[in-house]
Structure 1
Amino acid sequence: MSRTMPYSLEAEQSVLGSVFLSPAVMVSLMDKLNEDDFYDQRNQRIFYALKNLFLREEKMDYTTVSTELAQLGAMRDVGVSYLSEITDLVPTTTNLDAYVDIVKEYSLKRAMIKTASQIVEDGFNDKIRATEYIDDTEEKIFELIRRRKASEFVRINEVVNEVKEKAESRKNKGSLTGLSTGFGIMDQITSGLQPEELIILAARPSMGKSAFAMNLALNAAKHNKDQKAAVAVFSLEMSNEQLVGRMMASESRVENRKIKTGELTPKEWQFVDSAAESLGRLNVFFDDSSAISVQDIRSKCRKLKQESKLDFVVIDYLQLIKGDESKGGGVNRQEEVAKISRQLKQMARELKIPVMALSQLSRGVEKRDDKRPVLADLRESGSIEQDADIVLFLYRDEYYSHGKEDNGETELSFAKNRQGSVGNVLLFKFEKEYSRFLPITRREEDMGRD
């Protein structure tokens, strides 16, 4: 049995009638509707004609609209009597917003019906793989969600009130407005890891960036929401067992090497058992898929978010994320990485969570006398710097001093901080055997403050 698509002829006619009654309302309608939002094809053509006249700054009445429709070859489809009916309609413009909402509501429902029908049709296509089918389905649905939430201009007083309300809600909570990192001095600089932020943690290999990221992941789970904060860790380089082994070493203060071999004293076993029990209570989720795309990451994170199990995401590391294979070979890797960083920023905004992605630095660092990293060293894409809200660099001077004992002193520098100061350099002691970073002190350096 055939069914008619949902729509309201009365609402569509009232919107068009309001324009003939008061042409000035076309200014707001242009931002809220387009001809595709109308279901009746006659109404689509009339709105298109009105839009053309508006853009040319011409008068909008029966004569001008009928002339425009005739020039478009659409007057016969609309009909003289129907255009006269719309022109003579006298709706109250006071209710125009209500008419517009009804038209948009039915337009969105029709779009959902068409999308769902296409999803069903694609499901029967043997040429589409299941993973591609699921990703494409999610993308179609979220595109409709973005359309529903399409923003319009907001007057300053509304934003002012929102800022004041948030300030009042935080006045008794101190300066921490995001997730605590577990490092007090880092929290002071960032006010915590903020929702919608993309944080890049970059270093040359063997500087300890994976260990530092795991420290942050563990601290975020332990120090927020009464140890109920949920953290997702995507490790493209190390296995889940390797990561958790490091976490257990950090938590128990038992050397990672001993945990691997099982050569522990009875006392050390007690520490490991206690750490295992403590870690087991935390909401930390791991995915060690070695070949994973941003679409895969986003899909898994959406699922966790829908289950209210996502507050922070850590990805180790950005350059290992799989690119878009649908474009075939010959794709510029720099462009791929640029696209990946933009997609990670979009994911942070969509899910309203902080996302930390680790990144390699180019070998150009090794050629300089001062090997401290700078923004230009971000490997493969300048857009990483552009998309990131915070860029952090890890640096150990002893790493380059061959023959000199490495005391673990590590610099964490803020090369970019969109919401705060840059140039801050925090000192940590890296206890490599425990995969653990301990804060030492803070140092200010002139790195071009914004």
Structure 2
Amino acid sequence: MKNETKQTAGQPSAISVASGNSQAPVSEEMELAVILSVVAQSTSICEVGERLRPEMFSHPDYCLVYRAMLALYQHEADIDMLSIEREMRRLDPEHAARLNGLGFIADRMLKVRNASFIRTYAAWVIRCWVLRQAILKMTVRIGEAQRADADVVGLLGATHKDLEKLEEEFVTHGTTRTAAEVSQRVLGEIYEEQERRRAGEELQVSTGVDEFDRHLGGLFKGEMLVLAGRPSMGKTALALHMTLAAARQGKKVAFFSLEMTERQLVGRILCTLSGVEPDKLRFKLLDDDDRRRLDRAAEELRKLPIFLIYCSGSSLEEIRARCILLQRKYGLDMMVLDYLNLLNVTSGRADVKDTMDLALGEAAGKVKSLSLEFNIVTAVLAQLNRNCETRPSHIPVMSDLRNSGEIEQIADSIAMVYRPEQYNELYDDVTHESYYRVGRLFVIKNRNGATGEVRFRYNDSLTQIYPYKKK
């Protein structure tokens, strides 16, 4: 074991070469997440210790800490902060003294990530290491190829072997597990969630629409809901209703609007909470009762953990950066994006017309990745094309979504918002129930449950959503 430790100690030189390349992919945030996960729960190193090696870290400081952790793990010693610092001093006294032990990450220890995601963090560190190694090896081969006397056959063979070896490394250090291992872990997570539910904790996020909750079971972290519809169908009204419902559960929600300003958003929310008609805020006069109700609504809104961000013309990368800041400063449970079609997805693309639909599909995939990365609920609004306007039945279908194939594959659930009154449909042809102020929500995809129709009621100004109860 000692020999292994000494061998590892000689690796940081490779790291410094990789780090010197400004184009090399680095993963310092994920490397720190691995370190913090082990500090928070020492047994979590068992999940990654056999496949994540110290030289895979791009940051020399995190590399030393992980070397110390790994040495303790290999010697079956207890892993705590004192033993880690002692091992760091043994491995590299000068470096450890310069870092003041673990003092250099002390300010981050209060924001330790969930140790159960350590495999995800480690997989990202390994991925970036493989890419850096590929850059290093290909740089060498490029230099050889530029020589006038280059052996083409030998060069191609050596390049193939380089890539083959990296491919083996990547597969070897992947997350392949037996069904028995996975089932044991999953059952443990299920039983833990059951205990938390039994204790009264609400794990899922409510949509605020009873029938919708019964269909979906609520909204779950790591999953993406797509709420689609034609203009003026009530997408934003439903999204704001869901935002308020989640915030009233104590969930921290970030609402990103690429269409409405902060004033418009706050005005909509205040009208929802107070029942005051939006026309009175825009161009009519408020009476004393209106002002009292608005003041009470503003007081309630101040107590809710909602972050409203107007980000017209923003890219998903900018939105992700904002999520990182919110996650670090406040924590985050849910993100709402209003709406997908207004994202800046053409930056850096040569042919806008040919790539728009493809770019929207890619953006949806990135939103899904964001929900997994931050372990949050994501609700994405999307606008449908005009196809439903030309059909005898105006009820939307999956193909009305732009790039529907890509979005259908990525989304965990898709619901289409439809207001019959918009098309002068006054009652249900089968039950003859009135469609007066009734919205229909067609759940056309539900990865973890049933599809079907959900109904809700709304007021004249579409600022308030109510449960649908048959009269």
Task: Determine the structure 1 residue equivalent to 2:398.
Answer: 375
Which of 8, 11, 15 is equivalent to 2:4? 11
Aligned to 2:328: 306
1:180 aligns with 2:206: yes
Query: Does the alignment pair 1:316 with 2:264?
Result: no
- CA shift for structure 1 position 260: 2.0
Q: Which residue of 2 aligns with 1:189?
A: 215
Alpha-carbon distance change, 338 to 274 in structure 1, aligned in 2, over 3 angstroms: same
AA partner of residue 321 (structure 1): L
Q: Quick check: 1:258 aligned with 2:206? A: no
**Percent identity (aligned):** 29
Deviation, 1:325, is: 1.6
The worse-fitting range, judged by mean Cα deviation, of 161-170 and 262-271 is: 161-170
* Distance in 1 between residues matched to 2:216 and 2:50, nearest whole Å: 44
Residues 291-311 of structure 1: per-residue CA shift (max 9 Å, x gap): 111111111111111223311
Give the CA deviation at 1:102: 8.5
Amino acid at match of 1:146: W
Alpha-carbon separation, structure 1, partners of 2:188 and 2:209: 32
Whether 1:408 aligns to 2:419 is no
Cα drift, residue 182 of structure 1: 2.4
1:359 matches 2:382: yes
1:434–1:377: structure 2 CA closer, same or farther, 3 Å change rule?
closer
Of 169, 184, 193, the residue aligned with 2:196 is 169
- Give 3-state SS (helix, strand or coil) of 1:413's partner: strand
Code of the residue aligned with 1:234 in structure 2: it is F
The reply on whether 1:422 has 2:451 as its aligned counterpart is: yes
Counterpart in 2 of 1:153? 177
Q: Report how many aligned residue pairs link the two structures.
A: 327
Correspondence for 1:280 among 302, 315, 318: 302
Q: Per-residue displacement from partner, 1:73-118 (whole Å, max 9, x unpaired)?
A: xxxxxxxxxxxxxxxxxxxxxxxx99x9498442133x234999xx
State how far apart, in whole Å, the 2-side matches of 1:389 and 1:381 are: 13
**Cα deviation digits, residues 385-404 of structure 1 (max 9, x gap):** 11110101111111012999
> After the TM superposition, which residues 26-175 of structure 1 pair with which residues of structure 2 at under 5 Å, given as runs?
101=49, 104-109=52-57, 111-113=58-60, 146-147=124-125, 151-153=175-177, 155=181, 156-173=183-200
In structure 2, what is the Cα distance between the partners aligned to 1:257 and 1:359?
26
Tell me which residue corresponds to 2:357.
334
Instruction: Find the partner of 1:387 among 410, 426, 429.
Output: 410
1:438 is aligned to: 466
Conserved in 2, the CA contact under 8 Å of 1:200 and 1:391? yes
2:225 paired with 1:211: no
Q: Matched residue of 2:461: which SS?
A: helix
Larger radius of gyration: 1
Shift of the 328–429 alpha-carbon distance from structure 1 to 2, 3 Å rule, reads same
CA distance in 1, matches of 2:331, 2:199: 26
Aligned-CA RMSD value: 3.4
1:234 is matched with: 256
For residue 378 of structure 1, report the CA deviation from its aligned partner.
Answer: 1.0
Provide the C-alpha distance between the structure 2 equivalents of 1:144 and 1:253, rounded to a whole number of angstroms. Answer: 50
SS in 1 for 2:468: strand
**Residue 368 of structure 2: aligned partner:** 345
In 2: Cα distance, 1:310 partner to 1:165 partner: 21
AA in 2 matched with 1:106: P
> Could you list the runs of 5+ residues in structure 2 that have no partner in the other structure?
15-44, 64-119, 128-173, 428-433
Rounded to whole Å, the distance in 2 between the matches of 1:378 and 1:115 is 45
Aligned equivalents of 2:346 and 2:286: distance in 1? 46
CA distance in 1, matches of 2:394, 2:50: 62
Q: Give the 3-state SS of the residue equivalent to 2:337 in structure 1.
A: strand
Q: What is the one-letter code of the residue matched to 2:295?
A: D
Runs of 4+ in structure 1 over 4 Å off: 12-15, 37-41, 113-116, 142-145, 402-406
Residues of 2 paired with 1:402 and 1:372: CA distance? 11
TM-score (norm 1): 0.65
Measure, in 2, the Cα distance between the counterparts of 1:429 and 1:363: 25
The alignment partner of 1:429 has SS state of strand
Deviations 1:183-241 (A, max 9, x none): 3332222222100111000011111111111111111111x13xxx2111111111111
SS in 1 for 2:271: helix
Q: Structure 1, unaligned stretches of length 5 or more?
A: 1-7, 16-36, 42-96, 117-141, 443-450
In 2, are the aligned partners of 1:365 and 1:371 still within 8 Å (CA)? yes
Q: Aligned with 2:414: secondary structure?
A: strand
1:255, 1:433 within 8 Å by CA — same for their partners in 2? yes
**Alignment partners' CA distance in 2, 1:232 and 1:241:** 16
- How many Å separate the matches in 2 of 1:143 and 1:338? 25
| 1:148 Cα deviation after fit | 6.0
CA–CA distance in structure 2, aligned partners of residues 210 and 409 of structure 1? 16
Amino acid at match of 2:218: G
**Structure 2 CA distance for aligned equivalents of residues 103 and 173 of structure 1:** 38
Q: What is the TM-score with the length of structure 2 in the denominator?
A: 0.63
Change in 2 beyond 3 A, CA 1:14/1:365:
same
- Specify whether residues 396 and 364 from structure 1 end up closer, same or farther in structure 2 by C-alpha distance, changes over 3 A only: same
Are the aligned partners of 2:258 and 2:342 in contact in 1 as well (CA < 8 Å)?
yes
Structure-2 separation of matches of 1:102 and 1:406: 61
Which secondary structure state, in structure 1, belongs to the residue aligned with residue 237 of structure 2?
helix
- Equivalent-residue separation in structure 2 for 1:103 and 1:368 (angstroms): 56
